[in-house]
Every structure is written in structure tokens, then in C-alpha cells.
Amino acid sequence: MSRTAVTTTALIVLVWTALLSFGGVAAETVMLYPNIFADPPTSLDRAREFLVAGGPADYFPPLGAAVILAGLGTLALSRRDPRLRWWVAGAVAVFVACEFLFSVLFFWPRNEIMFVDPPGTHSAQDLRRVAAEFVAGHWVRLAGGAVTAALAFTALLRHVRAPAAAVASGPTDERIAR
């Protein structure tokens, strides 16, 4: 398989995983969050009861790892192609910043308070405040997912529209004639 084919495949995997992540966050925003954060602490207790067999914590960490691995692999393959390198690097950087680091630093402590600590550990006022902070911060994650997917998709489009070999070899007689 040629390097171009491998790069194309890597870009497709990156775009696919980034879109799955963004779509998951978007779906969570409109389907789960109105129920989970409707009336804390009561709605948080209901969410604990509902999200027993599976939930966002089962879906997003493995998918996030897949996005990062696909991004790093694609970045390694495109490092010598300036048409792609910065788009892919931007996608990886935005994802790591908005989806991983922001989640670890901002969301994980709030998840502990709302869903891991035993019920009754925190006052209703604290739970409402933490839930409001979580929902407000969620828009950063949603925007980061959208930007990641858009940057990755832009890299894929740039790659398939003008393969590296065509760019490197310069104009051909056929293209000059057009």
C-alpha cells in the first residue's frame, strides 16, 4: 500500500473518530443533559439510577483515546506535507485541549461530586452550582469537538483534492493546457 493510500486511510479514520466524538457530545447535549441537569439534586439522583448499565463514561474515554491515536498517527504520516500538517496538528491540539485536558481538569472533579460521591455528601445548593458549572463548561467541549472535526475534515479534503505527488511535481502539461 502506498504512503498516499495509508495517509488517506489515516485521515478517514481521524475524521470518522472525530465526528463520532463530536456527534456523541452533541447527542448528549440534546438528549441526556436536559434530563440530568433539569432539577439538581433530584435529577442527578435519577441519572445515577438510570446510567447504571452504561453511560458517557463508558463511551467517551475509549473514543477519545481513538481520536488521539488516530490524530498522532495521521500527524506522523503528514508531517512532511505542509498542506496537511498544520490542519492535523490543529485538530489534535484542539481535541487534546478541549476534550482531554479540559475534561480532566474541569469535568472529572465535578463528575465526582455529582455522580461518585455518596448521595447526601454535598448540599443541594452545592450540587446545583456544580451542575450549572458543568453545563456551562460543556459548551467548550462541544465547540472543541466541532473545531476538531472541521480541521480534520479540512485536512482530508486538501489531501484528496491535490495529492502530495501532484503538488510536489508541479504543473504538468495536461494541467497547463486546461
Domain assignments of the chain as residue spans, ordered by start: 3-164
The three grid cell numbers given for residue 35, joined into one nine-digit string: 434530563
Distance in angstroms (rounded) separating the CA atoms of residues 111 and 136: 14
Tell me the CA distances in angstroms from 126 to 77, 123, 138, one per residue in order: 47, 5, 18
Distance in angstroms (rounded) separating the CA atoms of residues 153 and 146: 11
- Closest residue by Cα to residue 138 from 25, 22, 39, 14: 25
pLDDT digits (tens, 9 = 90+) for 77-97: 999 999 999 999 999 999 999
pLDDT digits (tens, 9 = 90+) for 21-48: 999 999 999 999 999 999 999 999 999 9
